[in-house]
Amino acid sequence: MDDAELAARERATQHAFFAGVVGRSGRAVAPAPGVVAVVVPSVPHRSLPNSVLYADPAVLDDAVLDELGAVYADAGVHAWTVWVRPGDDALARRLAARGHALDGQPMLMAAPLAEIDLRPRAGLDLDPDPGWRTLAAVNDRAYGTPGDLERVLGGLGAVDGCALWVAREAGEPVAALAVHLHEGDAGVEFVAVVPEARGRGLAAELMRHALTAAAQAGATTTSLEASAMGEPVYRRLGYRALGRFGMWERRTPAPA
């Protein structure tokens, strides 16, 4: 499978995850063909949940961007971001001219599952019944966002196509991730290890368990959007780096 097909699978999985999972904490709107905008008023200061995704960058013209700004403002959200896909430089320039700032550059990574090293290295104490609240709490501890992701995900119940994975030490959750199966692709989301448990291979081992289960469920590829911390872990597992996103954030002053 070539890189273009892998990137297309990642895009479809990312859109489905944001609209079908993250959007449950607020709403997902489609102001133009191929555009998904997730609006989560419970975290108005966090742009990651308040994300805009697209299929064709040309669709995000000034009129659509104005509409998006109004949607977020009406919802009381004062930080939102557009995920500019690798190579869409004209859109990045348009956003910069409109006052968006480059806030992050996660790496788009994907691979056929046959290329991922799934051989287990160690046993894990897996939570037999992990929930979104636990996954969110591990992420909030890992990334220093106390309570934010828990407000977004904590109220979710079971989601079709999503499997949650939590590893414990001494009975306490220390690593977590979610896998979203979409049209044969296993999208890996919300990978986190709490600070005191880092450096011991927990993220990689948890991914091996999760992706083995995804392969058994029929997935043939896997994709994710890697942070700087996670990128070397995923490279070692066998993911291909397919180019960097630009997360172009629009932030306005919070209400007094």
Domains assigned to the chain: 3-105+244-251 (no CATH), 111-243 (3.40.630.30)
In this prediction, residue 255 has a pLDDT band, given cuts at 50, 70 and 90, of confident
Alpha carbon distance 44, 16 (integer Å): 22
- pLDDT tens by residue, 146-158: 999 999 999 999 9
- Sign of the dihedral through C-alpha 98, 102, 106, 107: positive
- pLDDT tens by residue, 100-121: 999 999 999 999 999 999 999 9
Given this model, what pLDDT does residue 125 score?
A: 98
Average pLDDT over residues 120-127: 95
Neighbours of 256 (CB within 10 A): 3
The H-or-E segment that residue 128 falls in is none
Beta strands, E only, the chain: 27-29, 36-39, 51-53, 79-84, 101-104, 107-112, 125-126, 162-169, 172-182, 185-193, 221-226, 240-244, 246-251
CA-wise closest residue to 223 among 206, 205, 242, 208: 242
Torsion of CA 187, 193, 199, 204, to 10 degrees: -20
Alpha carbon distance 229, 199 (integer Å): 11
Residue 54 in this model has a pLDDT that exceeds 70: yes
Given this model, what pLDDT does residue 149 score?
A: 96
**Site of tokens 């007094």:** 256
Residue 163 in this model has a pLDDT that exceeds 70: yes
Average pLDDT over residues 165-192: 98
Task: Read off the pTM.
Answer: 0.96
Helix axes 62-74, 89-97, angle to 10 degrees: 60
Given this model, what pLDDT does residue 239 score?
A: 98
β-partners of residue 51 are 81
**Site of tokens 């629009």:** 250
Average pLDDT over residues 159-180: 97
In angstroms, how far is CA 150 from the centroid of its own chain? 15
Written as six digits, the tokens of 77 are 């959200």
CA-wise closest residue to 192 among 241, 226, 221, 239: 226
Average pLDDT over residues 21-43: 96
Given this model, what pLDDT does residue 256 score?
A: 64
Across the chain, mean pLDDT equals: 97
Given this model, what pLDDT does residue 73 score?
A: 97
Given this model, what pLDDT does residue 198 score?
A: 96
